[in-house]
Amino acid sequence: MGVLVGKKAPSFSAPAVINGGEVVENFSLDQFIGKNEVILFFYPKDFTFVCPSELHAFQSKLDEFEKRGVKIVACSTDTEESHWGWLQMSKNDGGIKGVTYPIIADTNKTIADAYDVLLGEYDYDMDGRLVASDTMIAYRGLFLIDKAGVVRHQIVNDLPLGRNVDEAIRMVDALQFTEEHGEVCPANWQSGESGMTASHKGVADYLAKN
């Protein structure tokens, strides 16, 4: 897995389903640069088992992200038609009806590849097209992208391991705290706690208090 932290998030334009059912053709994260932080998360496949639990979990905390000015965007290698169909199914039937944040259709697998979360055997042909020798799906990658379009945090889980949405919120809080106060966040830091200065004295003072 490649490390994107500290680098510009790969740019892309792809179809997506927004607002729970509206299909758009050229969705891009570029629209948020200079305005919002973004949580971009990949999931393996529509109409599966762990995946709807994650999509509903992010939806249930959407207000928490929005009040922090953060945009949530999901992505899988399914088509926009597949996303749309899944969004019409109720939660009781295994669907994701009620999810309102954008879901990108990475049908060509190039976005997952650019973020280095693509699972499967593949290569590129002489024309630069991705050629797969088996089913191509995404690992459970999550990327926190700042307002400048730079990746500040990433985590990648294997397929059976669902993510902790509260941890994603904690990382947003940590990023916004460091940018506002110029201090760093120690282990297990939570919003409302003090940070520490990035110096030997700062560490010593923090450890003495904790």
Given the structure tokens 């891009």, which residue do they identify?
Answer: 28
DSSP classification of residue 184: B
CA–CA gap between residue 95 and residue 112 (Å, rounded) = 23
CB 24: neighbour CB atoms within 10 A? 15
Residue-level pLDDT at 149: 98
Give 137-147 pLDDT, tens digit per residue: 999 999 999 99
Any bridge partners for residue 155, and if so which?
A: 142
Q: pLDDT by residue (tens digit) across 96-147?
A: 999 999 999 999 999 999 999 999 876 777 887 767 666 789 999 999 999 9
> What does the DSSP 8-state code read for residue 161?
-
The SS3 of residue 67 is helix
Domain 14-163 = CATH 1.10.10.60: no
Average pLDDT (18-45) is: 97
What are the domain boundaries of the chain?
A: 14-163, 164-210
**75 among known catalytic residues:** no
Checking DSSP bridges between strand 130-132 and strand 14-18, what pairing results, if any? unpaired
For the record, the structure tokens of 124 come out as 């590129």
Catalytic residue among 51, 144, 145, 174: 51
